[in-house]
Chains A and B, each alone.
Chain A
Amino acid sequence: MGEFKVHRVRFFNYVPSGIRCVAYNNQSNRLAVSRTDGTVEIYNLSANYFQEKFFPGHESRATEALCWAKGQRLFSAGLNGEIIEYDLQALNIKYAVDAFGGPIWSMAVSPHGSQLLVGCEDGSVKLFQITPEKIQFERNFDRQKSRILSLSWHPSGTHVAAGSIDYISVFDVKSGSAVHKMLVDRQYMGVSKRKCIIWGVAFLSDGTVISVDSAGKVQFWDSATGTLVKNHLIANADVQSIAVSDQEDSFVVGTAEGTVFHFQLVSVTSNSSEKQWVRTKPFQHHTHDVRAVAHSPTALISGGTDTHLVIRPLMEKVEVKNYDAALRKITFPHRRLISCSKKRQLLLFQFAHHLELWRLGSTVATGTVESMCLLAVSPDGNWLAASGTSAGVHVYSIKHLKLHCTVPSYNFPVTALAIAPNTNNLVIAHSDQQVFEYSIPDKQYTEWSRTIQKQGFHYLWLQRDTPITHISFHPKRPMHILLHDAYMFCIIDKSLPLPNDKTLLYNPLPPTNESDVIRRRTAHAFKISKIYKPLLFMDLLDERTLVAVERPLDDIIAQLPPPIKKKKFGT
C-alpha cells in the first residue's frame, strides 16, 4: 500500500511503574491494580481485559493495600497513613481518612463488605465501619509489638488473622483480643537468618491459616490450636503474596524470584474424602518480585516489580478453548500517551508526572506540569466525538455547540476513535477488536461497516490481545484507514475485498517473487505490518512520511532494579 518514509522514534523514555497491589472484584469482573507511583488502574476482564479507568498517582500516595468493598467501592491505603476511597464515576478521589496509626501496611474488607480493617506500623489493627458516604473508626484491636503486614478475615467474619514480624496473631473480632499467637520459624535453608516477615496470610473457612513469609515458606496452621500443620519450602527468597479462590480449592502465591506457584486441594485417593494441599504448577512469567497476586474463578493474576500484569487462565476452568484461554501479559497502558502535530512536526509524550515535547529532527525537551487523561478526538472541521468510560460515543457539533447524535451503544468500551477528514466518517475501535465506521452527516453506519459486520472479522484479527490505541487517515487516499495496536500496524483498504477465515491474514507486504496475478488474488483489505513492536504510537506526518514510536522492552528492563540472581544450570 505504498511506501513511506518512517521516523522510527525510540527516545520516548517511558518506564511503567511496578505493580504493588491487585484486587479482583468477582461481581463486576473487574480488576483494580495499583502501582508503586500511586496510580490505580481498573481493568474490565469481561471487555477483553481492557484498561477502562485510570487514577493518576502521586508520589505522596504510595499504596500498600487495595480492596473492593460492598457496592463496587474501591479503597486504598498507603504509607502516608491515609485510607482513600476512589470515585469510580467521576474518576477522582472521593475522600481520604487518616487512620492515626502511622503508615498502613495492610487492609482487608470483612466478608460481608461492611467493615474495613487496617494494619498499621505501630502494631495496631483498626476496625472501620463503612457507611454509605464515608468510613467511620470503630475500634482498635489488641496492639501488637511490630507492624501488621498482612490481614485476612475468616469467611464467617468472627476471626481475623494478622501477619506480623516473626509471628501470626489470630484476633477475635467481637472482643478485639488476640486468641492465638503462632510463632514462625526463622530458619532459612538451615541457618538462622534475620527476622521472618509474614508477607501474607489467608484464613480459610475450615480454620486453616495459610501464611507466606520471607524465608520462602508456605505454612499451614490450625487456628483452633495454634499449631503448624504443614510446611512447604518453595523458594530461596521471599514469598510475597497469596490469594485464595472463592471455592477455597486452590490458591496462588508469588515469590521474589518471579515465580508464581499454584496450590490445589486434591483428594488423596479417588474413593476417599480426605483432601490435601498439593503444590502443582509453577509459572515463571515474571523476572522480578511478584508483589501481588489475585485469583479469579478462571485465572491467576499476578503483577510485580517488572511492571507486567500477567493473567494466566486455568485451563481446567475454561469451558471453550478460545481466545480467553490464552495467557495475557499487559505491559503498556491501553491509551495513547503520544500525540503528534503534523504541521509543526512535533511529538508530545505523556509521562506520569510530566509531559515532553519533542521536535522531530531536533532534541529540545520542554517540560510542563499536570497529568491528564480522557478519551476525546476532534475532527478537522466542526464535529467532536467523545467517549466516556461507558461504551457510548457522543457526537457534538462544534458550530452549534450541541449534541448532534449518539452512536448506538456497544458492549465493549471504545479504545480509539477518529473522524475522517473529507467524509466526516467516524471510525471507532472497541476493546474486542471490532472496528465501526459511522457517517456523522447521515447518522448511520456506512455501507462498508455494515458489510464487515455482516461478514465478520478474520478470527486472527479478533484474537489480537492488545487494544487498538490510535486511528488516523491518509489525506490523499480516502479509502484507507490507518490503525495500530502495540504489536502491529494496519492499513485497511476499503476498496479491496474483505478476508474470510480461510485467507491468510498476515501476508508479507511486498511479495516480490510472486506474480501479479497471485498477488491480486490474495490481496485483501487488511495490510498488516509487524515490523515495529512494541508500538506505542504511529501516525502519518504527511503523505509519504510516517512516525512510529517504539519502546523496546529491553530498555524498560534495563531501567528496573536488578532481579534476584538465580543460578542457571550450565552457566
Chain B
Amino acid sequence: MVEEDSVRVVRCGGSELNFRRAVFSADSKYIFCVSGDFVKVHSTATEECVHILQGHRNLVTGIQLNPNNHLQLYSCSFDGTIKLWDYIDGILIKTFIVGHKLHALFTLACAEDSVFVIINKEKPDIFQLVSVKLPKSSSQEIEAKELSFVLDYINQSPKCIAFGNEGEYVAAVRDFYLSVYFFKKKTTSRFTLSSSKNKKHAKNNFTCVACHPKEDCIATGHKDGKIRLWRNFDDDKKYTYTCLHWHHDMVMDLAFSVMGTSLLSGGRESVLVEWRDATEKNKEFLPRLGATIEHISVSPAGDLFCTSHSDNKIIIIHRNLEASAVIQGLVKDSNIFTGLMIDPRTKALVLNGKPGHLQFYSLQHDKQLYNLDIIQQEYINDYGLIQIELTKAAFGCYGNWLATVEQRQEKETELEMQMKLWMYNKKTQGFVLNTKVSMPHEDHITALCFCNAEKLENPTLVTASKDGHFKVWILTDDSDIYKKAVGWTCDFVGSYHKYQATNCCFSEDGSLLAVGFEEIVTIWDSETWELKCTFCQRAGNIRHLCFGRLTCSKYLLGATENGILCCWNLLSCALEWSAKLNVRVMEPDPHSENIAAISQSSVGSDLFVFKPSEPRPLYIQKNISREEVQWGVFVPRDVPESFTSEAYQWLNRSQFYFLTKSQSLLTFSTKSPEEKLTPTSKQLLAEESLPTTPFYFILGKHREQQDEKINEALESELVQLPLTENIPAISELLHTPAHVLPSAAFLCSKFVNSLLLSKETKSCEETPEDVDMEEEKESDDSDVENDFTEKTQDTNDTDLGEDIIHQLSKSEEKELRKFRKVDYSWITVL
C-alpha cells in the first residue's frame, strides 16, 4: 500500500550533466557529475551509473574530492549546504550548513579543515570567494558559519577561479582583468588587458583560468579565442605572458594535465586541443566531438581526460586523445519542435536531440538510448546560418513507422521541405528510411498524425498544412521486377474553403478524422474521405484538437487561441460543454479517458485533469511551474499503481511528464521527499530493512573484495555460525559510519572472537534459502542494490548443485556443502 502524500512536481532526470566540471576519483575508476539536485557516480569503464548521491534540496553547484581522503566527495548546492559523501557506498556522511547560496566549491590539500566556496552577498551581482572552516564533530549535521573572506567582485562561474602551486595563490578572472591573491603575502596583484575601446582588442574578455600544477604559470582563456600564459605574476612590473591562438571563438575551458606538461583547451569548435609543452607549434587535436566543449577535467591519476558538452554529454578521453566512453544525458536543444513523444516499442521519450537528430531517451534509466539521424547532413556550426530544422515527427502502427518533416526557410518565398517515412527493421532493431517526399505541401506542415486503430489493413498518415490542404498518405505496394517493396503515396487531398489546415487528429478506432481549419473543425469519414460535419465556435483559431478515448470516444475536444476549451458530442453534433481556459498543452492519456490540459497565466502554469464526459475536472494543481510549459506527454507505467484516492487515480496507469521553456523535464510524484532519499539512508539502516540478518549484507559486501584473506576466513566461518543480531561487535560495526571505523586489522580479531563464542549450528542451515527466496523476489524491485544481484547469482550456483545430487538427503547434502566451503577457504588461505 502506497502512502498517499500530496502530489508534487519533481525533476525526473534529464538534468544538466554539463553544469559543472566533472570530477574523477583518485583511481580514475569513477567519474562524478552534477545532475540537478543529485550527484551521479558513473563508471569510467562502462559508462554505467553506479550511484546517485541524493540529499541536496536544490541544484548541486560544485563537487570536489576530499583532498584528505580520496574515497570521499564534497558537494555544495544552492540549498546552502556542503555535504560529504562516501561515494563507493553512496552514503551521506556529513552535512555542513553554511547558510548562503553556494555557487561553487574548491578544496585544497594544504587547507585541511576548510574549503572555499563562492557566495553572493547583498547585491545580486557581487560574488565573493570565501573560505569556510568545517568544524570537526561526530554529528551528522554541523553548522559551519566561520567564513573568512578571500576575494571580492569575482565571476560566479567556477571556471573563473583557480588555485595554483599547492594553494600558494588563487587566480580569478573577470571582464578584462586577472587578479592573483597570494595567501602567504596576503597581497593581490591585478593585471588588466586593454578593453573594448580599441577595436582590435574588443573581445579581450577573460573567460576561464587554470593554474599550472608545478610551475608558477597561469593560463587564461579569452573571448577572442586566445589563450594567454602568464608568468612572473608575483611582480607587478616584470610580469609577462605568451599567447596561444588556435580557437576562432571563445575559449570555454582550460585544464592542465597532472604534471603540467600539456594544456587542454576547448570551445565552440568542438575540438579538444592539447598544447604540448605549452608551445604554439606543438599541438594535437581531437576533433568532431559533436558539440561545444563546456568543461574539461583531468583525472588525478593522469590517464583520463573528460569533456562536458553543450548537448549534455560527457566524453571520457584517454591520455592519447582517443574518446573511450560517452555519458549522454537528455540533449537540451533550445528548439523543441517535435514535442514529446513516446516510442511505443521502447517506451522511450522521443524529441529533438542533436541538430538534425531525434533522440530516444529512457526515462527509467535517465540516459539516452540512441540518436536517429533524420536530416543526414553535416551540421555546420556557425552563428547566423539558417539550418535545416526537424519540425515534426510522429510514430504510427505501434512503432513500426515513423514520419518526420524537416524544413529550411531562408527567405519568405524559398521554403525547402521534406517528409521522410521510416520503417522499423526488426533485424537491425532500428529505423530505416523508406520513403522520402520532397515538398509534400506548398507551405509549412502544421500537424502530422497516423491512424492508430487496431484493425487497420493499410497504415494511413495525414498531414495538415498552411497551404489549406490536408493530405492522406497510405502505404502501397511499390514492388517491381527487381524487388518487393512498399512505399507511401498520397491518397487524398482535402480542403475547406481555402482555410489553413492547422490541426488533425484521428479518432481512437480510426473511423473519423478531425481536421481543424483555423476556427472551424471538420469531421471526415476515413473510409470514403467524405466531409461529415463541421463545428465552429467562433472563438479563435483551433490550437489543440483531440478525440476522447475508451468510454468517452464520442467526444471531440478543441482548445482555441482565445482561451476557450470546447467539447463536442459527435453523436449529436452539438457542443456538450465549453470552459474558459487558456490551454497551452492538451494531452490525452492513452490508457484512460483522462485528458490533461495545462493553462498559462501570468503567475505560472496550472494543470487540469478531466474526463471529456464531464466538465468538472478530476484534479487541479495550481502553479506547477513558474515558466511556460511547452510540451507534455503521458507515459504508460510498467506496473500500474493503485491509488485509491480520487485525486490521484489519474496517475495509476500513466505518468505525466512536461517540459518547460528552460528545458527542465518535470513530472508529478506522490512519494514524499524522504521516501525518495531511501537509497542512501537504507544502507545505514540495513539490518532493519533486511528480514533476516545483517550477516548476509556483510557477506555480500565482503565478497567484492575476495582477495582479502581475512574476509575469506570470515566467510568460511560465517556459513556455520548462528545468526545473531545481538552480537555487540557486529551491531557496532554496522551502526558506526564507515569513515569513523578503526582499521580493519583492529576490527578483525574482535569480530572473529565475537563469532567464535557460539558453537550451535542448528538454525543457520534454514535461513539462507529463505533469504534467497526473498531476494529473488526483490530483485524485480528497482531499488535493490548491486550486491544483492551478485549474491543471488552465487546462490543460484549452489542451487544447481542441489539439483544434480538431489538423491542425497537434505542433511547430508548440507553437510557436504559445508565441508566443501571450508576446504576451499583453507586452500585459498594457504
**Interface check A504, CB cutoff 8 A:** no
List 9 additional contacts besides A233-B279, A278-B231; criterion CB under 8 Å: A234-B279, A266-B240, A267-B216, A269-B214, A278-B242, A280-B240, A281-B242, A281-B243, A282-B243
Judge if B333 is at the interface, Cβ distance under 8 Å: no
Contact indicator A279/B214 (Cβ below 8 Å): no
Q: Would B216 and A281 count as touching, CB distance under 8 A?
A: no
Of the candidates A216, A281, A316, the one whose C-beta lies within 8 Å of that of B238 is A316
Contact A281 B279 (CB under 8 A): no
Q: Does A377 contact B (CB under 8 A)?
A: no
Q: Check if B281 is an interface residue, CB within 8 A of chain A.
A: yes
- Chain B hits for A270, CB < 8 A: 165, 168, 216, 234
B183 within 8 A of A: no
Q: A233-B279, A233-B281, A234-B280 are in contact. Are A569 and B248 (CB under 8 A)?
A: yes
Between-chain CB contacts (< 8 Å), 12 pairs = A233-B279, A234-B279, A266-B232, A266-B240, A268-B214, A269-B216, A270-B168, A270-B216, A271-B168, A279-B242, A316-B239, A570-B248
- Chain B 331-352 against A: per-residue CB contact (8 Å), 1 yes, 0 no? 0000000000000000000000
Determine the chain B residues whose CB is within 8 A of the CB of A519 once the complex forms. none
B interface, how many residues as a size bin? 20 to 34
Task: Report if A264 contacts B (CB, 8 A).
Answer: yes
- Chain A residues, Cβ within 8 Å of B280: 234
Q: Taking the complex as formed, is B237 at the interface, i.e. its CB lies under 8 A from any CB of chain A?
A: yes
Query: CA of A233 to CA of B243 in the docked complex: distance in angstroms?
Result: 15
Interface string of B224-242 (1 = CB under 8 A from A): 0000010110100111111
Best-buried of A234, A278, A279, A316 by chain B (most CB within 10 Å):
A278
* Known contacts A234-B280, A278-B231; A269 and B215 CB within 8 A of each other: yes
Complex CA–CA separation, A233 to B215 (angstroms): 21
**Cα distance A86–B280 in the bound complex, in angstroms:** 43
Minimum CB–CB distance from A327 to chain B (whole Å) comes to 14
Distance of A505 Cα from B804 Cα, bound (Å): 109
Shortest Cβ distance from residue B666 to the other chain A in the assembled complex, whole angstroms: 43
Residue with the greatest number of chain A CB neighbours at <10 A, chosen from B165, B168, B214, B216: B216
Instruction: Please give the distance in Å from A322's CB to the nearest CB on chain B.
Output: 16
Instruction: Scan residues 132-185 of chain B and give those whose CB is less than 8 A from a CB of chain A.
Output: 165, 168
Residues 251-274 of chain A, each 1 if its beta carbon lies under 8 Å from chain B, else 0: 000000000000010111111000
Smallest distance from the beta carbon of A217 to chain B beta carbons, Å?
Answer: 10
In the complex the two chains form, is A268's CB within 8 Å of B215's CB?
Answer: yes
A104-144 interface bits toward B, Cβ cutoff 8 Å, 1 = contact, 0 = none: 00000000000000000000000000000000000000000
B807 within 8 A of A: no
Q: Chain B residues with Cβ under 8 A from A342's Cβ?
A: none
Give residues 233-247 of A contacting B (CB, 8 Å): 233-235
Q: Compute the total of residue contacts between A and B using a CB distance below 8 Å.
A: 50
- Shortest Cβ distance from A271 into B: residue: B168
Interface string of A128-172 (1 = CB under 8 A from B): 000000000000000000000000000000000000000000000
Q: Is A58 an interface residue (CB 8 A)?
A: no
Which B positions have Cβ atoms within 8 angstroms of A? 165, 168, 214-216, 229, 231-232, 234, 237-243, 248, 279-282
- Chain B residues near A267: list those with CB within 8 A: 216, 232
The answer to whether B279 touches A232, judged by C-beta atoms less than 8 angstroms apart, is yes
Instruction: Kindly report which residue of chain A lies nearest to residue B248, judged by CB atoms.
Output: A569
Residue pair A264, B243 in contact (C-beta under 8 Å): no
Chain A's closest residue to B231 (CB) is A266
Which chain B positions have C-beta within 8 A of A266? 231-232, 240
The residue on A at minimum CB distance from B238 is A316
- Measured between alpha carbons, how far is A264 from B281 in the docked complex, in Å? 18
Residues on B with beta carbons closer than 8 Å to the beta carbon of A569? 248
Known: A268-B215, A268-B216. A280 touches B231 (CB 8 A): yes
Name which residue of chain B comes closest to A236, CB basis: B281
**A-side contacts of B214, CB under 8 Å:** 268-269
Q: Which residues of B contact A282 (CB under 8 A)?
A: 243
> In residues 202-247 of chain A, which contact B (Cβ within 8 Å)?
216, 232-235
- Give chain A nearest CB distance to B792 CB in angstroms: 56
Residues of chain B contacted by A281 (CB below 8 angstroms) = 240-243
Q: Knowing A232-B279, A266-B232 touch, does A280 contact B242 (C-beta < 8 A)? A: yes
Q: How far is the CB of A100 from chain B (nearest CB, A)?
A: 42
Closest to A276 in B: B215
Query: A233–B282 contact, CB under 8 A?
Result: yes
Shortest Cβ distance from residue B424 to the other chain A in the assembled complex, whole angstroms: 45
Report the minimum CB–CB distance from A28 to chain B (whole Å): 27
- Chain A residue contacts of B215, Cβ below 8 A: 268-269
Report the bound CA distance from A233 to B277 in whole Å: 11
Residue of B nearest to A269 (CB): B216
Closest to B182 in A: A270
Tell me if B240 and A316 are in contact (CB < 8 A): yes
Are A264 and B240 CB-contacts (below 8 A) given A270-B216, A280-B231?
yes
Complex contact A234–B281 (CB within 8 A): yes
How far is the CB of B479 from the nearest CB of chain A, in Å?
52
Contacts of B231 in A (CB 8 A): 264, 266, 278, 280
Give the CA-CA distance A232 to B238 in the complex, in Å: 23
A213 to chain B, nearest CB (A): 14
Shortest Cβ distance from residue A369 to the other chain B in the assembled complex, whole angstroms: 48
Which of A234, A269, A282, A316 has most chain B Cβ within 10 Å?
A269
